[in-house]
Amino acid sequence: MYNNIGDKIKAVAKTVGIVGIVISIIIGIFTYAIIGSLIGGGGVIIGLAIMVGGSIASWMGTWILYSWGDIVDNVQQINETLTKRDLETKPQSSRLLQSAKSSQKAKAPAKWTCPKCGEQNNANAHYCINCFTEKP
């Protein structure tokens, strides 16, 4: 249902444009016939104005809808590209993450023992976390 939605939106835009143009021409012909029979030559100008103006308005009105379909297509393409790239780089990034974790474990800083209370503290701590004695 939602596959190729951009193409479906663009097809609707084309259909709306064509239907609008056809309806404008039909209304213009009827206007020409009805008004032309009532007032004469003025019906020709009004009928042509409706045919031309309505056709142009229908055509221009489809631009927004067609553009929306084009935007949806482009977003789907970007999403597919990014998803593909993520799938290709995921094994590599998980290897890098595991490598980083193992190097952190291997390079774990030595601890120091507080001379006052005997608490084990991280090597980068300047004071004991238990009694706040300064690191020797």
Kindly give the confidence (pLDDT) of every residue in the chain, 136 residues in length, as a single tens digit, with 9 standing for 90 and above: 567 888 899 999 999 999 999 999 999 888 888 877 777 666 778 888 999 999 999 999 899 999 998 998 888 888 888 888 877 776 655 666 666 666 555 555 688 899 999 999 888 888 888 888 888 8
* Residue that has been written with the tokens 């055509």 in this structure: 59
Taking the CA atoms of residue 72, residue 77, residue 79 and residue 80 in that order, the dihedral angle to the nearest 10 degrees is 140
At 51 the pLDDT is 92
Please state, in angstroms and as integers, the Cα–Cα distance from residue 4 to each residue in 7, 10, 73, 127, following that order: 5, 10, 7, 63
Domain ranges of the chain: 5-106
Helices (H), 1-136: 5-39, 42-106
Structure tokens at 56: 């142009």
At 47 the pLDDT is 85
At 34 the pLDDT is 84
pTM: 0.55
